[in-house]
């Protein structure tokens, strides 16, 4: 029996899992958007800071919005959101049924269970695009970020990957069918909404009082970072922070480089953006993030916890520059 693949499947390798998958999805549906545009329409910039023994590492950081995909659909005026499924068997059955009908599926998955990663760490917030399956071989076919073509994963592994109860990242067969239509070909209103949403999500994010997300979390991290050397896993905390800035599908510079590319594209459609040149400043900020990541990597390789004070100073500068730029971006979103 031949594999079941969605006719016309495609994959253009990219930097980040979710924005690459969304770009592939829009191309499949006949209204292609670049990865950078998808990321920006999703107001994808963010920051998260969680501290405690239940987290791994105990100083857990992230540099992307946790609601990028939801933002993407809301800003474009498309009625779609993450759906869940009660159990792994039903989730796989539903994905196969969609492929049989020519409908690919956006999925959240834990890379720990995706065979081709061979990862030693869990991360259930990863996004892939399901394109088909082969029951005879017991495999499924997915598109994944920078990897060319389709990746083969055991169906049993995919079932495990789609269900996770790790603290902070519950995943229960989360999926979105790729079957929508773009309400309008004029992206300018959606871009303005996305600019407003990006600034709002950073200045006044969900759970702001707890200092978990956005600028409140970044301010908390600036204050705490000097003391990270007192943590038992200070090397892993520094290494993780380096990775979520420069590695792990960020496109470099804590996703800020990818967002700067979005601002460049948006400037061609919104003249005020070209006039204030926020892309230039965002590129500069991304370089500051990259510089910080190099220091964190060096710290993680030291025998003694030295350098966290210098890292805190670098993060404080980033915080100040990002707030100033987001104030400008918020104003652009509110005009016109």
Domain range list for the chain: 4-32+81-177, 188-334
Q: What is the DSSP string of 271-319?
A: HHHHHH-HHHHHHHHHHHHHHHHHHHHHHHTSSS---HHHHHHHHHHHH
Residue labelled with tokens 């919104």: 270
**C-alpha to C-alpha distance for 314 and 245, rounded to whole angstroms:** 13
Q: Average the pLDDT over 184-190 and give the result.
A: 93
| pLDDT per residue as tens digits for the range 298-336 | 999 999 999 999 999 999 999 999 999 999 888 765 555
Q: What is the pTM assigned to this prediction?
A: 0.94
What span, in angstroms and rounded, lies between the C-alpha atoms of 48 and 45?
A: 10
Q: How many Å from the N-terminal Cα to the C-terminal Cα in the chain?
A: 56
Under a CB-based contact definition with an 8 Å cutoff, are residues 213 and 47 in contact?
A: yes
User: At 124, is the pLDDT very low, low, confident or very high (cuts 50, 70, 90)?
Assistant: confident
pLDDT in tens, 207-239: 666 789 999 999 999 999 999 999 999 999 999
Local structure of residue 150 (DSSP, 8 states): P
- What is the predicted pLDDT for the residue at 168? 64
**Structure confidence at residue 335 (pLDDT):** 52
pLDDT value, residue 216: 95
> What is the average pLDDT value for the chain, to the nearest integer?
93
pLDDT mean over 97-122: 93
The confidence score (pLDDT) of residue 239 equals 97
Q: List 177's β-bridge partners, or say none.
A: 105
Q: pLDDT tens digits for 46-87?
A: 999 999 988 889 999 999 998 999 999 999 999 999 999 989
Contact 197, 43 (CB under 8 A): yes
Please say whether the beta carbons of 195 and 279 come within 8 A.
no
């Amino acid at each position: 029996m031949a594999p079941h693949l969605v006719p016309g499947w495609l994959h253009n390798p990219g930097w980040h899992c979710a924005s690459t998958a969304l770009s592939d999805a829009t191309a499949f549906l006949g209204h292609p958007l670049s990865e950078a545009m998808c990321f920006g329409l999703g107001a994808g910039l963010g920051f998260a800071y969680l501290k405690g023994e239940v987290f791994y590492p105990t100083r857990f950081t992230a540099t992307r919005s946790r609601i990028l995909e939801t933002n993407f659909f809301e800003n474009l005026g498309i009625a779609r959101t993450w759906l869940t499924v009660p159990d792994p068997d039903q989730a796989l059955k539903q994905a196969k049924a969609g492929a049989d009908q020519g409908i690919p599926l956006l999925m959240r998955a834990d890379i720990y269970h995706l065979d081709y990663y061979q990862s030693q760490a869990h991360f259930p917030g990863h996004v892939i695009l399901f394109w088909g399956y082969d029951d005879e071989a017991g495999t499924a076919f997915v598109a994944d970020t920078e990897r060319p073509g389709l990746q083969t994963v055991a169906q049993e592994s995919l079932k495990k990957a789609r269900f996770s109860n790790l603290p902070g990242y519950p995943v229960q067969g989360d999926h979105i069918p790729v079957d929508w239509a773009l309400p309008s070909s004029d992206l300018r209103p959606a871009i303005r909404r996305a600019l407003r949403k990006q600034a709002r999500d950073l200045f006044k994010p969900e759970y702001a009082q707890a200092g978990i997300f956005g600028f409140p979390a970044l301010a908390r991290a600036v204050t705490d970072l000097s003391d990270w050397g007192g943590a038992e896993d200070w090397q892993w905390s520094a290494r993780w922070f380096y990775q979520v800035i420069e590695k792990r599908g960020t496109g470099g510079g804590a996703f800020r480089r990818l967002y700067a590319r979005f601002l460049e594209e948006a400037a061609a459609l919104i003249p005020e953006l070209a006039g204030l040149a926020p892309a230039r400043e965002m590129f500069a900020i991304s370089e500051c993030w990259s510089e910080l990541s190099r220091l964190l990597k060096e710290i993680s390789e030291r025998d003694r916890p030295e350098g966290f004070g210098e890292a805190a100073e670098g993060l404080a500068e980033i915080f100040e520059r990002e707030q100033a730029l987001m104030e400008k971006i918020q104003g652009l979103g509110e005009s016109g």
